[in-house]
Every structure is written in C-alpha cells, then in structure tokens.
C-alpha cells in the first residue's frame, strides 16, 4: 500500500484501503483491488460482522467514475456562449495565470467582497476539502463573500440550538435495538443512508421485537423493507399532525408530566397552544385531519401507541424540515419526544433530525486551517447565533445566491458580484429555481469551476480546471452523522490525465497572487501534519501508521451512546447548554427575536404553496424531491451501472394519474411558473394522492425550448427559505399532464 512518502503508484497487485468523501450518509471504508496500476474491483469493509461498515452500491460502482470516458482531462477555457458547454484546451500555466489575473482585476476594480465563493459537499476530506482549500487561499488574498445555510438541515440546526443548545442529539444506531417502537418520520435511510449500518440496525431492532411505523407522503424503500405500518401525510403539515398527537396525549393524560416538570421549560405555553387556549382553535385529531390528510382515528391510535411504548425512538428525518416552515417540524418532534419521556434514555430518541452522535472530543476531524476572512472581520459569529439577521449582513443565504447576483447592492445584498468560484458543488443543478440561476450565471463577469465532469454548472464556466477522483489522492474522512470511526483514504492510483487536486491548484495559484505562506510542506506532508497536530485524533488513535495501512479505525465505545443521558440523569451537574439549563419547549432565544413567523414554541405554520394556496387551483399537486439511492445529490448521476438500477421518473398516485389519462411509463409534462420538464411517469399507490415525487440530483438537460429532459427537480422548486433559513425543496406546487392534453 502506498504510504505518505511514496508517489502513490500502486504495486503490481494489492488491496488498498481507501474511501470516497461525498456528502452521503456513510463515507464508508473501501477495499480497492489494484493490479498494474489499474483499479480492478471495489469492495466494502470485511471486518467482524457486528461492527462491519457496509458500503452501498454508490461506492462499489466508483470504478466507473475513475475511468469514465466523459471525465474532464485538461484545463479548458470557454469559446462559445456561456452555458453552451463549448470549450478549448489550454495549458495549466495559461489557466492559472488567467484565474490569478481575473482575481487581481476584480479585487482592484471592485474589492474583495465582489468575489463570491460557492461551495458544497462534493469533497469532504480533511485536506481535500475544496471549501477549506479555496477559503484559505481567498482569505490570504484579502477576503471574499460566501453563503450561509445548510441545504440539508438548516431548519433542524436552528431548532436544535433553540431547544437543546446542542447539535449532538442522536443516539448511536445500536441503541435502536433497545426501542419498543420506532417511528420513521420523513426518514428513509435505505436511500440517504443516515449513518453506515443504519438499515442493518433497523433489521436487528425489528428482530428484537420493535414495532416500526413510517410517517411519510411516500411509501419509501425503508418503509417497504422494515415498517409494520405506513401513515401518509401531506408535505409541510407534519407539525399540525404532531400537535394533534400532543392533544390526544394531554387530554388522555398520557404524557410524562414528571419528565416535563424536571427537564423542560415552557410546556405550559405549548399546552395552551395545543388545547386552543391561545388561539381558540384546539388542535384536535379532526383539525389535523383537515390539514394533514391523516384520518382522526389514525391520529388517536398513533398517539396512544407512542405514549404506551417505553422506550420509543421518534426518528425525525430531515425531509420534512426542508419546507417553508421546516423548523417547526423539528421542534415539534423534539417536544413530542419530551412528552413521551424518551429524551436521554436507552431506546429513546431526542427527535432531532441531525441525529449526530455525541462522541465528545473524538467528534472533530482535523482540517486545513483557514485564516479570518477580512470581508467578515469584526462581525458576529454567523453560525453561533440564532439571530438570523446577523448572518445576512455579510453572507448570502444559499438559496438566494441567484437573487444576490442579479440584484447586488440594489437588492440589499453584500456586494455586486463579479467573479464566482464554484467548488465541490453542482450549484446550478442543486439550488432552487434553476432557470433564474441561468440568468444569474450569464450576468457574472468571470466564473471558475474545478470539476471532474462537465456538469450543468461547469457548462457556464469561463475556466474549467480538471480535478482527480477521491481514489487518486490521499485524504482523511470522518463519517456522517459523527459515526464511531475514522477513515484514511489512501491513493489507489495516480491522478488521471492532467487533473490536479483543489489543494494543489491553490498551492500553485498562491504565488501568482503574491501569497507566500499558503503551504510549504506539500500535499502528503500537510496531511501527516494535520493528523499529528490533531490532539483529539491522537487521543483515540495510538498508531497513525497502522491507521494508514488499515484504512479505518473504529472508535472504542460502549454498546450504545445516548444523547443527553447525563443531562437527564444529573440535571444539576450537567444542565443543557440553553439559557434555562433545560430543554426549552419555550425558547428564550427565539422569543428575543420577536418574529411571529418564528414563534418561541413549536407551532403549525402554514407555508406557501400548500394545498390551501390560491396557486393550487392552477397547480394542484405538491412536489417533493427526495433523495435517490443511486446518487449522492447530483454526483454519480452519469455512472452507467447505477443508472441501470432506477430510471428518473415522476411518481404519481394511481387516482391522480387516472383523471389525467396517464399510464405507467407515459412521457408527461411537469410544470409550474418557474419551469417545465418532460419525464416518464411512474403510476403507483406508493405515494399519497395530491403528491408527486421527483428524486433530487438528476442533471439538467434542456432542449431547444428550455424544457428539461433530464428530470432536474430544481427546474420547479422555489428559491425562498423558511424563517429559520430552511430550504423549501419540499414546498412546491406543480401540475402534471400528458403532452398535448
């Protein structure tokens, strides 16, 4: 196996321990079979069965990424109209000189704030993280503007900070075996993974006798494989359903009053809301049925089941919080978990959609140091405060980047943006309101895109820089959600063609920008230094050389880890990191904001583009854009082996299809005021009436009329955000019809 002192060229035949650093829910260790410098096969971990870290098909098919015929092979500059995808080959010297020249020009003419760095989760290694590489470069160059908001979980992040004061609110997956009831609420780990081995632990929990219920607009693969019952709910109405569950528990005295009295604050205020004392509207099961579509008797049954099962794991997913009022879902789930007395106990769940496991000091992963960004100097912490207005001062919400480019300072955005670097992101494809994005990208003066493929975003670049795959460089990875292991991704083969890592690109750009201290060690030595300096990691891993050779280190841990167990067992000695020291059902921090759209207690807040929106007369179907099992967001969409597994379709209920004359497999038009696509229909009973589903991440492929033929859901989605900054990918009204109908 190549070590940090070698070139990385494989010996004649070997097994290399490596990994892929995508933003999937696993980041699993891999065994890469290499012969004569060529990857022949990729297999998953083969450790002891109980702790085996099973890789899914995404990683097992990764050889087709490394050797894909459509990889970008050398630097290129645009020769056609922006967006046409026409480029000419240039040398690395010309590419780097051009990029450096444009950065200097824009800085001198417009200032550092007009340089916009847009980053994503396509490259999440300790060293190879494109975000850190370019952030360090641009910070040393004088600063830059960037964005805030987590596309996957912003609503859940704000909710967890408000209610618990801590993002590490997940029990280890092994603890599912202690639950008597597991409710999968908007959570489909068979597709989005949600931590390596989650589905395996669900299987073990079911074998141990746990009952599993899925609450979701769609009968997901996880529900089909593991659930005893499916309860379909209209998108964006989950908080109403939860309020009705709380109503039943309160009226029938099923809630854990002792737990609420000891460990929470503000339940009385929430109770007054639920019982209708606040607004004269009791949140009864009948009230919830009219909003959510869940029958009142089903609501009553679920409330009684949850209250009676102790312990019960209420697993709130991230899908429902990606809506127009998504933070209310997560706060509602956390409140229901407290009402059941299931927070901080084995077999329970704190209900937080992040589900990060509290592993203490071993939780952190070393990474490339980023100096203070001078454009943001003197401002408050953008991620450490619940006051969202503070974030807007110097950053742009991810879903408002297109507006920020189009409107600039005239729209009260931080700058008039002239140059954009898109790193580790297919942003055009993955942000709301794609057609507005096209207009924005045509306005920018200069666009730089380091990429491995000609993605929809890459087609709009002025300079394209080819980067290697994850198996063509050394790096260190930490799994999501804070899984109990580290992975060392050894370089299995040398970088293909003329590709250079983002870190290497920045090292070579630095002297052209007059930066002398970007890096003095080289790539492998820097990675060694990061690991050597990481006290948390060295406390856990005694032999770093062995870690490199093995490619994986499993953190020693008890049979299960339970979030907030100390706070519940010893509240005076271990208070919650909230103003009150307790679980804040009434959040003092949110109350201070005095924002009616972001109330101090969790409530059902009707979002835009729901079934009661006036637009529903023209666009009567609610679109959800859930995760796809064969992609990680938009990555891997072009891998042939994976494309064979599942075609890109629009799921539509049998009844909705019948009234439109649509049969399974028909090519249909899905459209609203923002865009239109042509896509095959999948007619099925696995999605509730009034709802359609298009899995996110498929690449945008417009025809001559601008109609998308690739099945990109963001042609249709909204580019707003919730009061807490949540992304409304699942708040979208559309119509579906056969062409010519």
Residue-level pLDDT at 535: 64
pLDDT given at position 380: 56
Residue 714 pLDDT class (50, 70, 90 cuts): very high
Check pLDDT > 80 for residue 256. Answer: yes
DSSP 331-359: HHHHHHHHHTT-TTSTT-----TT-----
pLDDT band of residue 362 (cuts 50, 70, 90) is very low
Q: In which band, very low, low, confident or very high, does the pLDDT at 536 lie, cut at 50, 70 and 90? A: low
Average pLDDT over residues 296-308: 98
Mean pLDDT value across residues 390-399? 75
Q: How far apart are CA 265 and CA 586, in angstroms?
A: 6
What is the mean predicted confidence (pLDDT) over 613-628? Answer: 96
pLDDT of residue 155: 94
Q: pTM to 2 decimals?
A: 0.95
Instruction: Give the whole-number percent of the chain exceeding pLDDT 90.
Output: 79
Query: Which pLDDT band, with edges at 50, 70 and 90, does 3 fall under?
Result: very low
Higher pLDDT, 131 or 497: 497
Distances (CA, A) of 265 to 237, 268, 369, 573, 599: 25, 8, 39, 17, 15
Q: Say whether the peptide bond before residue 481 is cis (omega within 30 degrees of 0).
A: yes
Average pLDDT value for residue range 358-381 = 74
**What's the pLDDT score for residue 668?**
98
Tell me the average pLDDT across 245-266: 98
Residue 319 has pLDDT above 70, yes or no: yes
> What residues does 92 pair with on adjacent strands?
none
**pLDDT single digits (tens) 53-78:** 989 999 999 999 999 999 999 999 99
Average pLDDT of the residues in 433-445 = 98
Q: How far apart are CA 640 and CA 64, in angstroms?
A: 8
**Of the candidates 187, 292, 276, which has an alpha carbon nearest to the alpha carbon of residue 237?**
292
**Core vs surface per residue 255-269: b (16+ CB within 10 A) or e:** bbeebbeebbbbbeb
| Whether residue 595 has pLDDT greater than 70 | yes
Residue 165: exposure state from Cβ atoms within 10 A (0-12, 13-18, ≥19): buried
The predicted-structure confidence for 179-237, as pLDDT tens digits, reads as follows: 999 999 999 999 999 888 899 999 999 999 999 999 999 999 999 999 999 999 999 99
Q: Dihedrals φ, ψ of 480, to 5°? A: -115, 135
Least confident interval from 2-6, 281-285, 689-693: 2-6
pLDDT of the residue at 514: 97
Pair 599, 272: CB distance under 8 Å: no
Q: Which residue do the tokens 């995404």 mark? A: 58
The mean pLDDT value for 526-542 works out to: 78
The pair of three-digit structure tokens given for residue 643, joined into one six-digit string:
């494309």
pLDDT value, residue 10: 43
- Six-digit token pair at 396? 């742009």
Report the pLDDT value the prediction gives residue 374, as an integer from 0 to 100. 93
In the predicted model, what is the mean pLDDT of residues 467-479? Answer: 92
Whether 494 shows a pLDDT value over 80: the answer reads yes
Q: How far apart are CA 605 and CA 612, in angstroms?
A: 13
pLDDT at 46: 86
pLDDT higher than 70, residue 363: no
Q: What pLDDT does 34 receive?
A: 97
Q: What pLDDT was estimated at residue 12?
A: 72
pLDDT at residue number 366: 72
- Average pLDDT value for residue range 666-680: 98
- Residue 719 DSSP label: -
Residues 6+ apart with CB under 8 A from 63: 39, 40, 41, 42
Mean pLDDT of the chain: 92
Distance linking the first and last C-alpha atoms of the chain: 61
- Quick check: 541 and 547 in contact, CB under 8 A? yes
CB-facing half-sphere around the CA of 632: CA atoms within 13 A: 25
Q: For the chain, what percent of residues have pLDDT higher than 70?
A: 95
Residue 386 has pLDDT above 80, yes or no: no
Length of the chain: 741
pLDDT the model gives residue 391: 55
Residue pair 651/644 in contact (Cβ under 8 Å)? The answer is no
* pLDDT, average across residues 27-54: 90
Split at pLDDT 50, 70, 90, the class of 257 is: very high
> 559 vs 600, which has greater pLDDT?
600
């Amino acid at each position: 196996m190549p070590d940090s002192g070698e070139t990385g060229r494989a010996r004649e035949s070997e097994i290399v321990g490596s990994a892929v650093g995508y933003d999937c829910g696993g980041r699993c260790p891999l065994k890469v079979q290499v012969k004569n410098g060529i990857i022949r096969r990729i297999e998953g971990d083969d450790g002891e069965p109980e702790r085996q870290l099973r890789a899914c098909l995404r990683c097992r098919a990764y050889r087709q990424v490394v050797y894909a015929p459509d990889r970008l092979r050398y630097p290129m500059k645009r020769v056609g109209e922006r967006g046409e995808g026409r480029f000419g080959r240039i040398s690395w010297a010309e590419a780097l000189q051009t990029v450096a020249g444009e950065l200097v020009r824009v800085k001198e003419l417009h200032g550092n704030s007009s340089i916009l760095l847009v980053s994503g989760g396509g490259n999440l290694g300790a060293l190879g993280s494109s975000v850190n590489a370019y952030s360090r470069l641009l910070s040393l160059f004088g600063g830059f503007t960037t964005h805030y908001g987590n596309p996957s979980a912003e609503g859940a992040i704000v909710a967890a900070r408000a209610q618990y004061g801590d993002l590490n609110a997940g029990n280890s997956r092994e603890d599912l075996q202690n639950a008597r009831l597991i409710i999968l609420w908007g959570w489909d780990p068979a597709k989005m993974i949600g931590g390596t081995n989650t589905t395996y632990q669900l299987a073990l929990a079911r074998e141990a006798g746990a009952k599993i219920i899925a609450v979701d607009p769609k009968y997901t693969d996880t529900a089909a494989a593991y659930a005893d019952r499916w309860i379909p709910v209209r998108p964006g109405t989950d908080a109403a359903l939860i309020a009705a569950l709380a109503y039943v528990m309160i009226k029938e005295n099923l809630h854990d009053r002792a737990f609420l009295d000891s460990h929470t604050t503000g339940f009385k205020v929430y109770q007054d809301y639920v019982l209708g004392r606040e607004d004269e509207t009791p949140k009864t099961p009948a009230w919830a049925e009219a909003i959510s579509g869940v029958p009142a008797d089903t609501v009553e049954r679920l409330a009684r089941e949850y209250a009676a099962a102790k312990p019960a794991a209420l697993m709130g997913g991230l899908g429902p919080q990606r809506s127009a009022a998504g933070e209310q879902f997560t706060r509602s789930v956390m409140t229901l978990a407290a009402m059941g007395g299931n927070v901080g106990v084995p077999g329970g769940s704190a209900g937080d959609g992040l589900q990060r496991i509290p592993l203490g000091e071993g939780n952190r992963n070393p990474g490339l140091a980023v100096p203070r960004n001078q454009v943001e100097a003197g401002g408050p912490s953008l991620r450490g405060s619940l006051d969202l207005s503070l974030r807007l001062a110097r950053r742009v919400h991810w879903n408002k980047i297109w507006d920020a480019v189009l409107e600039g300072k005239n729209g009260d955005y931080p700058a008039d943006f002239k140059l954009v670097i898109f790193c580790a992101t297919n942003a055009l494809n993955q942000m709301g309101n794609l057609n507005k994005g096209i207009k924005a990208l045509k306005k920018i003066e200069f666009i730089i895109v380091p990429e491995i493929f000609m993605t929809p975003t890459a087609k709009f670049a002025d300079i394209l820089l080819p980067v290697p795959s994850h198996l063509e460089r050394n790096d260190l990875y930490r799994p999501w959600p804070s899984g109990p292991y580290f992975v060392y991704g050894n370089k299995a083969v040398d970088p293909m063609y003329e590709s250079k890592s983002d870190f290497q690109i920045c090292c070579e750009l630095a002297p052209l920008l007059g930066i002398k201290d970007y890096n003095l060690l080289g790539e492998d030595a820097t990675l060694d230094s990061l690991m050597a300096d990481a006290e948390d990691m060295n406390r856990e891993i005694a032999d770093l050389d062995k870690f490199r050779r093995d490619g994986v280190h499993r953190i020693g841990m008890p049979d299960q880890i339970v979030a907030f167990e100390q706070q519940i067992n010893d509240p005076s000695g271990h208070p919650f990191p909230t103003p009150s020291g307790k679980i804040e059902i009434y959040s003092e921090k949110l109350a201070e904001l005095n924002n009616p759209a972001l109330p101090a207690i969790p409530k059902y807040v009707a979002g835009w583009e729901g079934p009661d929106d006036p637009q529903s007369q023209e666009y009567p179907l609610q679109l959800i854009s859930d995760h796809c099992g064969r992609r990680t967001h938009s990555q891997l969409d072009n891998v042939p082996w994976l494309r064979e597994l599942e075609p890109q379709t629009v799921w539509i209920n049998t009844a909705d299809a019948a009234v439109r004359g649509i049969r399974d497999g028909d090519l249909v038009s899905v459209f609203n005021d923002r865009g239109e696509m042509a896509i095959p229909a999948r007619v099925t009973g696995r999605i509730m009436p009034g709802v359609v589903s298009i899995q996110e991440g498929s690449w945008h492929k417009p025809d001559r009329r601008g109609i998308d033929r690739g099945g990109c859901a963001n042609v249709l989605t909204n580019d707003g955000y919730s009061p807490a900054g949540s992304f409304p990918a699942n708040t979208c009204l559309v119509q579906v019809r056969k062409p010519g109908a």
